[in-house]
Amino acid sequence: MITNERDSRHEHLCHVGRQMMTAARTAPKGKGVDIIEVAMVTGDDIKTLSDKMIAMVEEHGMMFFLRDAENILSAECLILIGTKDQPQGLNCGHCGFALCSSRSKGVPCAINSVDVGIALGSACATAADMRVDTRVMFSAGLAAQRLDWLKECKQVYAIPVSASSKNPFFDRKPKQ
């Protein structure tokens, strides 16, 4: 039997995506408290996310969302990684407030932010080990957050995954 790489690419990249989700889940967490949520987006849901990104441009005017919306259509899957808002009670002041209890509504716990960053790094390192193309995208993550795809998460980032002769997520031209 002969299997062409193109015929097995989607299945392979979804497998890599699942490994990335495991890497995000097992990444170290502040105080050992796991408030990370992770999911994989495939198929028509990628187009739904792209459409949401385009619609959001009217709201905030950030034109790079248009470029990124087109860009994610080259992905076989996207990994979403987000964190719930749960102050860790360390009173560390990293959020800008001396006490967790004095933190203003909407200000994220810095430890939660670090946790999602470490999870993103672990997922991307796994993808790099598997030699697939990725890029962390704030834009696609914010659109997924607005779609409420990761329930209760206040910070969501997306990682599109691809395998092609050139990484489609870099050297991108801005949309006019």
Q: Is 32 helix (H, G, I), strand (E, B) or coil?
A: helix
In a domain, 9, yes or no: yes
CA 59/CA 64 separation, integer angstroms: 13
Q: Output the pLDDT for position 168.
A: 84
In a domain, 173, yes or no: no
Q: Output the pLDDT for position 175.
A: 62
Q: Which two tokens stand for residue 96?
A: 């800008």
In a domain, 171, yes or no: no
In a domain, 174, yes or no: no
How would you class 155 by CB atoms within 10 Å of its CB: exposed for 0-12, middle for 13-18, buried for 19 or more? Answer: buried
Contact criterion met (CB below 8 Å) for 121 and 27:
yes
CATH of the domain at 38: 3.40.109.10
CA–CA distances in Å: residue 5 to residues 11, 79, 105:
10, 22, 50
pTM score of the predicted model: 0.92
Q: Output the pLDDT for position 176.
A: 60
Look-up of token digits 């899957």? 77
In a domain, 19, yes or no: yes
Q: Output the pLDDT for position 113.
A: 95
In a domain, 168, yes or no: no
Q: Output the pLDDT for position 147.
A: 98
Per-residue pLDDT tens, the chain, 176 aa: give them.
Answer: 998 988 899 999 999 999 999 999 999 999 999 999 999 999 999 999 999 999 999 999 999 999 999 999 999 999 999 999 998 889 999 999 999 999 998 899 999 999 999 999 999 999 999 999 999 999 999 999 999 999 999 999 999 999 988 888 887 666 66
Q: Output the pLDDT for position 68.
A: 96
In a domain, 170, yes or no: no
Q: How many domains in the chain?
A: 1
Q: Output the pLDDT for position 171.
A: 73
How would you class 44 by CB atoms within 10 Å of its CB: exposed for 0-12, middle for 13-18, buried for 19 or more? Answer: exposed
Q: Output the pLDDT for position 166.
A: 84
Which residues constitute the domain of residue 121?
Answer: 5-162
